[in-house]
Amino acid sequence: MHERRGVLPWLSRNSGAVFLFVTVFTFLQLGFYAGNHFYAQEPSPSWWDSAKTSTLAAEGVVQAHPIPKLMEDAEAAYKKKVARQSRTLKDAVVEYRSRYGRLPPKGFEKWFEMAMEKNVVMIDEYDGLMEDLEPFYELSGLEVRRRSLQVGSLPSIDIVRIRNGVVKTVNLNKGFEDSEVGARANGFKSMINKVAHLLPDIDFPINAKAESRVIVPWEHRQHPNLTIQDSSVGIETMLGGPFIADWRGDGNVWDAWRRTCPPNSTARRLFSSIRTPFSPDSKNYLQSRDSPSSTSSTSGSSGSSVSSSLNSGVGPDFFFSPDTGYSLDYCNSPHARYSQGHFFSDWRVIPALYPVFSPAKARGFMDIKIPSHYYYGSTARYTYGWDPVNLELKDVDPMEVPWDLKQDKIFWRGATTGGGNNPPGFMPQYQRHRFLRMVSNISDTTRVLVFPDPESLLSPGEPSSTSSPTSKPPTNPPRYLSAPVPISKLNKEIMDIAFTKATAEKAYPGGLEALRRDHRFAEAVPLGRHWSFKYLVDFDGMSYSGRFLAFLASDSAPVKATVYEEFFEGWIQPWVHFIPLSTTYKEIYNIHAFFSGPPEAAIEAIKPNNSWDSDPNSSENRENWEEAGRTGYVHGDRDRDGDGDRAKSKKMYNADGDARLRRIARAGKQWKKT
């Protein structure tokens, strides 16, 4: 049993501090003391042709919407997780030993005391951290220390060094201190500086890049005797030769990454693809990229989509992911790599087990996750509530907007980042570009939209003015209609998405001209402008998104699409604190339709089949619309902007869906606080 040593509570900020505290302790232990239900594979959309789509008009009734079930299950799971957290030191030690098969690290009792003082919610949830550190338990303390120093000599790896209680940031590759190191190392230094005097001499290798860096082949992980375990031979021998900072055309991330897969996996057996459906030189590439079949076939779905079995007729636009895309299996679905830019990064990976601390990692990488410097320091670009005039952090952002005045649109602004260019030519399929092209589409392509039937939301026994005397009372819960709606109209009505800056535009096929032709561009806006919208989409860039915690802190609802895991992964719950978006993105229109009600384009689509949809301002139907307003389904003729101008569209408003959306926004805000 290890001797325990006390360490004082530290770091005034709760966001990531407790996690970092455990990371430091466990890393010290390694270096110095060590010796279902509604869950199905998303179907292939190859059968989904225009003839089939055209049959899904208003008469197509959806009997159960899966989103309420997703929310209920997620809320129950989160409450259960919170309820089972340890509240005594004895229980915490028992839980730790049960989960990880070893005693807690030194100072655990002092950490627990600090966690109680800080009212930490998740006392036991460090599975992600322990998974990151598990491989290093096979190494001696000397080996871990030596590898920490060696990896710090590589390009784009900085060292946060503690000597005699003093913290310094060093880039050994350049030989400079402080001024030439990355922002991530300086951020880590700021986080750890307050307790440096309590810690022994140690080196923390910090990734200067956003991309994950460490990849270890499957054989070397399963059979350690196949690789050199003694780093005393030098890092070049460990890496199999001199380390070059970028690929320079000599291989790529995918070639290195697929070696993490089992030998019998598709990715390992794959030599080359016979045909790629989105090659930039393909004649049909630009025409087909936004069709229902092409977006699915190239998207790389996480394989974990949810839909009611009663709704199989509404097609692939009506499948909802229960979580983010981190679990996406590239080993068995190697084609999915084309849709994620990190496989095309220009920065060479490290092909041996070295401790590298990174702000996020994609599946298959072996970096150790730490809180991002974007989350710790306050800046106008990444921090909710930051007052740049008075240089203080406020609970409510100066530009926050009351919920009822927020626009029912989906909002995003950002640069064209998303991956490198090695090998070249694949940038059109990177995560941000795919979404921007989808929402910039002005063609006649349709999306199947599912939304509540207005008639079904009227009070039972009170027929509308358009109902016949013999019509049956509305159903409860409401039934849903499905209809194909032109994507051009949907994008115009509910999307406010645009690139603000072109980066690496020469890598895009056709250059800057083609990039601007295929995607919407607009002026950049301050972070506070986001709070004017109810839906805030969060997309990966070169790696994770640094704005996610700011979005959570706001009074808006984040819609997050990611294939990266961050330090808080085990603490946050999709469909409780945010809305997860699959890597295909195609369900985004039905997410909006559920929470905000059918847009005008959907009402127009059902006009031939539904007498309820006529001019809401006409005298004959005003009574009917007023009744709908009393029962929670009202016309969207409201002052959304607070500027006195009332929208005159036929956009309708689902009060129940809006309340659910606001519940997610509030839950995310509360999570960020606690």
Alpha-carbon torsion (521, 526, 529, 531), positive or negative: positive
Say which residues have a Cβ less than 8 Å from residue 161's Cβ, sequence separation at least 6: 167, 168, 169, 170, 202, 203, 204
Query: Token pair for residue 441?
Result: 């589409």
CA 494 to mean position of chain CA atoms: 21
CA 291 to mean position of chain CA atoms: 24
What backbone phi and psi angles, to 5 degrees, belong to 366? Answer: -120, 30
pLDDT tier at 114 (50, 70, 90 boundaries)? confident
What pLDDT is stored for residue 3 in this prediction?
Answer: 38
What pLDDT is stored for residue 456 in this prediction?
Answer: 59
> What b/e readout covers 451-480, taking b as 16+ CB neighbours within 10 angstroms?
bbbbbbbbeeeebbebbeeeeeebeeebbb
pLDDT tier at 16 (50, 70, 90 boundaries)? low
In the chain, the percentage of residues whose pLDDT exceeds 70 is 73
SS3 581: coil
Strands 361-362 and 357-358: unpaired
What pLDDT is stored for residue 178 in this prediction?
Answer: 63
pLDDT tier at 206 (50, 70, 90 boundaries)? very high
What pLDDT is stored for residue 1 in this prediction?
Answer: 39
What backbone phi and psi angles, to 5 degrees, belong to 415? Answer: -90, 170
Alpha-carbon span 105 to 107, nearest angstrom: 6
What pLDDT is stored for residue 28 in this prediction?
Answer: 59
Average pLDDT over residues 350-367: 96
- In angstroms, what CA-CA distances link 304 with 42, 88, 232, 331, 584? 7, 37, 44, 16, 12
Q: Which amino acid is at 634?
A: V
What pLDDT is stored for residue 311 in this prediction?
Answer: 52
- CA diameter of the chain: 89
Check if the beta carbon of residue 149 is closer than 8 Å to that of residue 203: yes
Average pLDDT over residues 493-505: 95
Alpha-carbon span 229 to 220, nearest angstrom: 10
Mean predicted lDDT score pLDDT of the chain: 80
Say which residues have a Cβ less than 8 Å from residue 201's Cβ, sequence separation at least 6: 162, 163, 164
Say which residues have a Cβ less than 8 Å from residue 429's Cβ, sequence separation at least 6: 278, 298, 338, 339
Residue 455 has pLDDT above 80, yes or no: no
What pLDDT is stored for residue 655 in this prediction?
Answer: 85
> What b/e readout covers 580-597, taking b as 16+ CB neighbours within 10 angstroms?
bbbbbbbbbbbbbbbbbb
Nearest to 301 by CA among 333, 255, 270: 333
Residue 443 has pLDDT above 90, yes or no: yes
Average pLDDT over residues 90-98: 98
What pLDDT is stored for residue 197 in this prediction?
Answer: 84
Q: For the ranges 13-17, 235-239, 562-566, which has the lowest average pLDDT? A: 13-17
Alpha-carbon span 503 to 505, nearest angstrom: 5
Instruction: Pick the more confident residue, 97 or 247.
Output: 97
Instruction: Pick the more confident residue, 568 or 274.
Output: 568
pTM for the whole structure: 0.82
Instruction: Pick the more confident residue, 648 or 669.
Output: 669
pLDDT tier at 21 (50, 70, 90 boundaries)? low
Say which residues have a Cβ less than 8 Å from residue 113's Cβ, sequence separation at least 6: 9, 89
Question: What digits encode the pLDDT tens for the residues 216-261?
Answer: 999 988 887 777 778 999 999 999 899 998 888 788 999 999 999 9
Residue 43 has pLDDT above 90, yes or no: no
pLDDT tier at 636 (50, 70, 90 boundaries)? very low
Q: For the ranges 188-192, 269-273, 283-287, which has the lowest average pLDDT? A: 283-287
